[in-house]
Amino acid sequence: MIDTSSIGASDISKKAMPIEFLDFNVYGLSRKDLEARLSENSISAVHAKSVFRSLYKDLAPASDASHHFPRQVEAYLNTLDLSIPLSIVSEQRSSYDRSIKFAVKLHDDQKVEMVLMPESKRITLCISSQVGCAQGCTFCHTGRMGLLRNLKPSEIIGQVYLANLWIKSNPDWLAQCKLAPNLRITNIVFMGMGEPLDNVESVSKALDILTDPFGLYLAKRKISVSTAGHIDGLDALLENHPDVMLAISVHSATDSERSKIMPINRRFPLDTLIQKLRNLPLQQKNGLLLQYTLIQGVNDSDDHALKLVNLVKGMNVKINIIPLNPVGPSRLKGPTTERLGSFRKVIHDSGIRALVRYSKAQDIAGACGQLVNP
């Protein structure tokens, strides 16, 4: 998530702008889209593969002269917008863990953030799916912005593209992180700004491109979509991508308390959400990740932990406990170390896997719930 702390409430429009789904940028086209467009123009669809390979494998930007496409293909491509539809405007490096938070500017001067997180042998990129978010969770900075607009597929892919170009031109960072010189992004998490399933068409299209064998070719199990529990969006996502990894934000095991901190619970209540999760296809529901942000005095008692255990009884889930990251002027606090330990123990003792996720990039406000329009 991205840090909204620098934004005053008056700067923030609570009103959603109209969503423009049509994407004329080349980075917003799946290979199938490109094949169809080439065919419509009487060009062999087979060229879509080499266009994809050149863009995504060789990382040669579409506007580069280095491509050697047949003339007809080049002429068609020139009818599209070939620019990378966003640009990095600032980067902040964490002194704790070498994570980097980037502020990224879109064509209309809106900004989102993305966070690059090195781990042993892998590089995870946390990306945004919306400018702001309509869901208004009380503990989340992005939620305080309201929704400004959805990102288009090209703007989602553009984040990954830009991050890969940045890695390619910063071999020192790879060396400092003790990562192989040719390593590029290996994992993606949709845990930046926005509720991905409120923008499911763009996210689905981006997944097509991210997983394409001629494109970025990321395995679906290396891509996690985190949702506050948008059931309609979940149905739409799974129709196209039944095998993408899911992370479900639960944060409370009772409807009344959950609704107070996550307004989405009034639309998609907990029992409907859990029922949905229990009925997921086998490959999805095995090892499903549930996220629980722990907030002092709000949802962190042993009784809360027992209720959570009860809620998920019989499910094969992993629980990721995220101590609340401070969010600007909010009075909400993270749990004490003792409370965190005790909460985890109750879950663990019931036989459910419980991991504490200490957010990366906390010193640069790039941790969960801290991302905002910079």
Catalogue the active-site residues: 113, 368
| Closest to ligand SF4 by CB, 35 or 113 | 113
73 binds, among ligand SF4, ligand SAH, none (CB under 5 to 8 A by kind): none
| Closest to ligand SF4 by CB, 84 or 127 | 127
Least distance CB 305 / ligand SAH (angstroms)? 17
Of positions 92, 159, 187, 325, contacts ligand SAH by CB under 6 A: 325
When asked if residue 293 is in the footprint of ligand SAH (CB under 6 A), the reply is yes
Structure-derived torsion over alpha carbons of residues 53, 59, 65, 68, reported in degrees to the nearest 10: -20
324 binds, among ligand SF4, ligand SAH, none (CB under 5 to 8 A by kind): ligand SAH
268 binds, among ligand SF4, ligand SAH, none (CB under 5 to 8 A by kind): none
Least distance CB 316 / ligand SF4 (angstroms)? 24
| Closest to ligand SF4 by CB, 28 or 143 | 143
| Closest to ligand SF4 by CB, 2 or 77 | 2
Contact residues: ligand SF4, CB under 6 A: 133, 135-137, 140, 142-143, 194-195, 228
Structural contact between residues 353 and 330, judged by C-beta atoms closer than 8 angstroms: no
Of positions 211, 226, 265, 373, contacts ligand SAH by CB under 6 A: 226
Of positions 273, 327, 347, 361, contacts ligand SAH by CB under 6 A: 327
Least distance CB 28 / ligand SF4 (angstroms)? 22
Of positions 147, 167, 191, 308, contacts ligand SAH by CB under 6 A: 191
327 binds, among ligand SAH, ligand SF4, none (CB under 5 to 8 A by kind): ligand SAH
By CB under 6 A, the count of residues binding ligand SAH is: 17
> In the structure encoding, which two tokens stand for residue 185, read together?
């992004």
C-alpha to C-alpha distance for 190 and 212, rounded to whole angstroms: 18
DSSP per-residue codes, 14-57 = -SPPPP-----BGGG--HHHHHHHHHHTT--TTHHHHHHIIIII
C-alpha to C-alpha distance for 196 and 239, rounded to whole angstroms: 15
Torsions phi, psi of 196, nearest 5? -55, -30
> In the structure encoding, which two tokens stand for residue 48, read together?
């879509």
Of positions 34, 55, 216, 368, contacts ligand SAH by CB under 6 A: 368
The H-or-E segment that residue 340 falls in is helix 337-349
When asked if residue 289 is in the footprint of ligand SAH (CB under 6 A), the reply is no
210 binds, among ligand SAH, ligand SF4, none (CB under 5 to 8 A by kind): none
Q: What CA–CA distances, in Å, run from 116 to 1, 55, 107, 245, 276?
A: 12, 21, 22, 19, 32
Least distance CB 237 / ligand SAH (angstroms)? 13
C-alpha to C-alpha distance for 281 and 316, rounded to whole angstroms: 13
When asked if residue 140 is in the footprint of ligand SAH (CB under 6 A), the reply is yes
What's the length of the chain? 374
> In the structure encoding, which two tokens stand for residue 28, read together?
């917003």
Q: What CA–CA distances, in Å, run from 232 to 9, 117, 283, 345?
A: 30, 31, 20, 34
Structure-derived torsion over alpha carbons of residues 154, 160, 164, 166, reported in degrees to the nearest 10: 90
| Closest to ligand SAH by CB, 47 or 149 | 149
Residue nearest to ligand SF4 (CB): 143
When asked if residue 155 is in the footprint of ligand SAH (CB under 6 A), the reply is no
> In the structure encoding, which two tokens stand for residue 355, read together?
């991991």
Query: First and final CA of the chain: distance in angstroms?
Result: 12
> In the structure encoding, which two tokens stand for residue 371, read together?
């991302």
CA–centroid distance for 365 within its chain:
16
Bridge partners of 113, per DSSP, are 103
β-bridge pairing 130-132 and 147-150? antiparallel
Residues that bind ligand SAH (CB under 6 A): 1, 139-140, 191, 195, 226-228, 249, 291, 293, 322, 324-325, 327, 368-369
